[in-house]
Structure 1
Amino acid sequence: MLWAAVAFSALNLDRYNLTQAITDNFLSDLGLTTDDYNNGNSLLRIAFLIAELPSQLISKRLGPDRWIPIQMCLWSIVTCAQFSLSGKTPFLACRFLLGLIQGGFIPDLILYLSCEDESSFYPGSLDLTLIISSFLAYGILHMRGVAGKAGWRWLFLIEGLLTLTLGVATFFMMPASPTQTKTWFRPKGWFTEREEVIMVNRVLRDDPTKSDMHNREGLSFKRIFSVALDYNMYPMYIIGFMFGIPSGPPSNYLSLSLRKFGFSTFESNLLNIPKTVGAIITLICITLLSEVVDNRALVSIAEDLWCLPCLVALYCLPANPNPWVYFAISTVLLAYPYTHAIQVAWCSRNAGSVANPTVNAAIYNMFAQAGLVASSYIYQADDAPRYLRGNRNLIIIACICVCFMYPGTYAYYKWRNSQRDKIWSAMTDEEKTHYLSTTKDVGNGRLGFRFAY
């Protein structure tokens, strides 16, 4: 649904506006250091990680159509509260609260879309949001001095009120399912009965396992535990932890670095736009490639493969580089093809039934957030301003991803499929029929299930 993309945009608007706030002397106004900035990012990610699974449990019980707008309204209130930040402790507390409330939003949205036609979700809304937010920041940060307040304070307040409005609207814009669009404020609904039948058949034809649970059926702890112990999903969790680390620190520090190189607050925000435009182009290209190439590992490796030569170029910059050269290299690096959405779909595909992706998506995102926490500490104050040690570590991690992690995952799933093929082909027709009628295996544990790679 289009509104799912709007809701995702609201998440990103409030999650990433700190990168614009720091261009307006945010750190110096609050007496913070870059290490405090790292700690704030880490606390948000840690809270994000902690909230993933509990949020999924709440979402499965209440229904994502109810829980998602509640999350949006709560984090918008915290965003607005940052208008009154007064020092290190309130800053860290707000970052933690934001992460705690936003933590399960992405898997909750995946759960909601699993009961719909998932092609209606647009991952590109992240990049479009970053472009729009850069222009918003350019205008709002000019309000520095209004009522004697800093521009970054108005940025948090105005964007928080904007996403709060979207959160309230989401209560009315996200029906429980394609067959439940009729309600007191929408008496005619969105679809005819025939259209509803067509949509349901289309979703079930695409993935028959979506018929085994509904979106208000809670998960038992036994089922959660069994899913968490599914070792066949561990390669995906390792990917979730590792793949985003090489691009994390350069992204977090781009605005700060541009300010240090002499660019103004407003120039620094506008100079974030080219890399976002580039990211949209590469996202479209990698998405089209994923439709043509039936090889998830080959497509997903593109992000770290793209980052590797750019990280080498950053490492080789002289002690006092030309600001525009640094900007050019960083822009190319951060225009990488974003493969996270492809990997989440890959993870869901290999999980099996609807219940499994619900938990697996949460676990995958927990590992992804853990990776971002680790990446927050790669650039340290004692390594500034060139961050030679940090960039060297990023190069090593990118090489591990490209040379070992993705090829290893490809080889593992191919081997698992060949194992099952041998067992299945060795069975007689009677044995196959007996297995299909009596097996208690579910999801990717069934002999007939084949992993995507």
Structure 2
Amino acid sequence: MSKSPTSNSVRAEALDADPLQKRVLRKITWRIVPFVMLLYFIAFIDRVNIGFASLTMNQDLGFSPSVFGFGAGIFFFGYFLFEVPSNLILHKIGARIWIARVMITWGLISGAMAFVQGTTSFYVLRFLLGAAEAGFFPGIILYLSYWFPARRRAAVTAIFMAAAPLSTALGSPVSGALLQMHGLLGFTGWQWLFLIEAVPAILLGFVVLIILTDRPEKAMWLKDDERNWLVAAMEAEQKAKGAQASHNVWRGLADIRVLALSLVYFGTSAGLYTLGIWAPQIIKQFGLSALSIGFVNAIPAVIAVVAMVLWSRHSDRTGERTWHVVGACLLAAVGLVFAGSAGGVIAVVAALTLVNIGISCSKPPLWSMPTMFLSGPAAAAGIATINSIGNLGGFVGPSMIGWIKQVTGSFLGGLYFVAGLLILSAALTLILAKAGRKNGTARTAMHHQAAQH
């Protein structure tokens, strides 16, 4: 799966020397990346704000740890069922209309979470929220592949994905503060949290219709020479993949590399949503107020943002993907083990910082892998498959922690379980890379024999 670091570096430096190319890449980066980053920022807040709501909601509604863990995780069943169809629709009709639809729908359902009455409505709304949001994340990953050459994709993806830890860093204090609105106009604090944090998604859904451009060919905000270069560059990249790239939808779904990356992503998702959903309750054990928990929970995420950008730039500069994923997964696993046995707030924050850094750093190089061997509809289907299967880890991780917490009274066993999933992700990445090198060697030998004949 990894490329030659030297050849990648030399090629990137040669291409970056062209002033036109540098200008185009800079222009599309500033036009697209901050906006899609803002969208993901809002999406991630609406996805995991259940973690802060639980600080008071669980007691108000009588939810046990296992009920809460299952309800928080069932989001990903809805996500799983509708992910691939959603991404194929986006590829067919364009990101502009489809991403707008996704955002408006999920905003409305997220706001409706304020009116949960019990276990059934909690499960139903979380499932519907997952179904509504299905297609957003893989859709943006696919969308970025239309605009940015492969050599730039990990760095751009990292900036986009930095919205997840940033939403934790900025959203945690906000969510903690919203819980202080308890009793205003007869609503509880957790109801205000859901209502207020749903509004940006709905409003931005309409802004998407104005800002997003489906394809480079339609980018009237680029000059003619800029647009022509970008279209030609992306077409040349698609042709260069040639027969090595899968284009058929069913091949994208059935490719063994897609299934392997899905399992790798499963472990990283279990880690990510363990943080998003359970970190506030882990910190709460030390007797902090909701507002204090918000600020404490923000510290690891701030550090993770910086690490994520630096790590992905190093991955792009060297052209190496495999060890950048493996090292990050193992670091997150170590952090989870330490978080389970930490005896104070400082120790927990230090452990959660390791987890945040590891989880955040693993994802950009991981998401640069599928578009190395998939293209067109196969890329749409393959990326969505990886995300939908992988995100089931977001159900398994939080649910297991809730169940083990209820049975044992401790977070320890659940955190060890998620750490094990991350170690498995690291091992699968190494196996996939080794298989890729063997296939590459075999293809080279075949081409050499053909040339001799």
Compute the TM-score of the two structures, normalised by the length of structure 1. 0.83
Shift of residue 417, structure 1, vs aligned partner: 0.6
Q: Distance in 1 between matches of 2:422 and 2:61?
A: 35
Shift of residue 209, structure 1, vs aligned partner: 6.2
Contact 1:247 1:307 in 2 (8 A): no
Q: Distance in 2 between matches of 1:57 and 1:267?
A: 43
> Which structure is larger by alpha-carbon Rg, 1 or 2?
1
Q: Do residues 428 (structure 1) and 446 (structure 2) align?
A: no
Contact 2:266 2:391 in 1 (8 A): yes
Q: Distance in 2 between matches of 1:405 and 1:173?
A: 39
Partner of 2:344: 322
Look up the equivalent residue of 2:50 and give its one-letter code: L
Q: Do residues 154 (structure 1) and 185 (structure 2) align?
A: no
Q: Which residue of 405, 425, 430 corresponds with 1:381?
A: 405
Shift of residue 150, structure 1, vs aligned partner: 1.0
Q: Which residue of 338, 347, 353 corresponds with 1:331?
A: 353
Partner of 2:39: 7
Partner of 1:134: 172
Look up the equivalent residue of 1:265 and give its one-letter code: A
Q: Would you tell me which structure has more helix in proportion to its own residues?
A: 2
Q: Which residue of 111, 120, 134 corresponds with 1:80?
A: 111
1:170–1:369 distance in 2 versus 1, CA, 3 Å:
same
Q: Do residues 346 (structure 1) and 369 (structure 2) align?
A: yes
* Number of equivalenced pairs: 409
Look up the equivalent residue of 1:108 and give its one-letter code: G
Cα RMSD after superposing both structures:
2.6
Over residues 257-312 of structure 1, what are the superposed CA-to-partner deviations in whole Å (9 max), with x where a residue is unaligned? 22232111111111111011111122022112202333311111122211233233
Over residues 389-421 of structure 1, what are the superposed CA-to-partner deviations in whole Å (9 max), with x where a residue is unaligned? 32343344344344x322212211111111111
Q: Is 338-347 or 273-282 further displaced after alignment?
A: 338-347
Compute the TM-score of the two structures, normalised by the length of structure 2. 0.83
Shift of residue 360, structure 1, vs aligned partner: 0.7
Question: SS at the partner of 1:175?
Answer: coil
Q: Distance in 2 between matches of 1:76 and 1:125?
A: 17
Contact 1:246 1:304 in 2 (8 A): no
Q: Is 64-73 or 14-23 further displaced after alignment?
A: 14-23
Contact 1:64 1:111 in 2 (8 A): no
Over residues 121-177 of structure 1, what are the superposed CA-to-partner deviations in whole Å (9 max), with x where a residue is unaligned? 522122222222123224322221210211111111111112111111111111222
Partner of 1:56: 87
Contact 1:178 1:196 in 2 (8 A): yes
Question: SS at the partner of 1:176?
Answer: coil
Look up the equivalent residue of 1:124 and give its one-letter code: A
Partner of 1:440: none
Shift of residue 246, structure 1, vs aligned partner: 4.6
Partner of 1:365: 387
Q: Percent identity?
A: 19
Q: Distance in 1 between matches of 2:241 and 2:108?
A: 35
Question: SS at the partner of 2:168?
Answer: helix
Look up the equivalent residue of 1:330 and give its one-letter code: L
Shift of residue 232, structure 1, vs aligned partner: 4.1
Contact 2:251 2:378 in 1 (8 A): no
Q: Distance in 2 between matches of 1:129 and 1:393?
A: 26
Over residues 217-241 of structure 1, what are the superposed CA-to-partner deviations in whole Å (9 max), with x where a residue is unaligned? xx99xx4323322234333233222
1:258–1:66 distance in 2 versus 1, CA, 3 Å:
same
Contact 2:76 2:130 in 1 (8 A): yes
Q: Which residue of 320, 330, 336 corresponds with 1:311?
A: 336
Q: Distance in 2 between matches of 1:393 and 1:112?
A: 34
Over residues 159-217 of structure 1, what are the superposed CA-to-partner deviations in whole Å (9 max), with x where a residue is unaligned? 11121111111111112223324xxxxxxx422222211222333344446999xxxxx
Gap regions ≥5 residues in structure 2: 1-31
Contact 2:81 2:131 in 1 (8 A): yes
1:74–1:234 distance in 2 versus 1, CA, 3 Å:
closer
Contact 1:204 1:210 in 2 (8 A): no
Q: Distance in 1 between matches of 2:48 and 2:94?
A: 27
1:378–1:82 distance in 2 versus 1, CA, 3 Å:
closer
1:271-290 → structure 2 map (5 Å cutoff): 271-290=296-315
Partner of 1:38: 69
Look up the equivalent residue of 1:267 and give its one-letter code: S
Q: Distance in 1 between matches of 2:319 and 2:422?
A: 23
1:232–1:138 distance in 2 versus 1, CA, 3 Å:
closer
Gap regions ≥5 residues in structure 1: 182-188, 213-218, 432-453
Look up the equivalent residue of 1:226 and give its one-letter code: R
Structure 1 residue ranges (4+ consecutive) displaced by more than 4 angstroms after TM superposition: 118-121, 209-212
1:124–1:249 distance in 2 versus 1, CA, 3 Å:
closer
Q: Do residues 179 (structure 1) and 217 (structure 2) align?
A: yes
Look up the equivalent residue of 1:134 and give its one-letter code: S
Partner of 2:414: 390
Contact 1:261 1:323 in 2 (8 A): yes
Contact 2:241 2:373 in 1 (8 A): no
Q: Distance in 2 between matches of 1:409 and 1:211?
A: 22
Question: SS at the partner of 2:287?
Answer: coil
1:90–1:202 distance in 2 versus 1, CA, 3 Å:
same
Contact 1:41 1:95 in 2 (8 A): yes
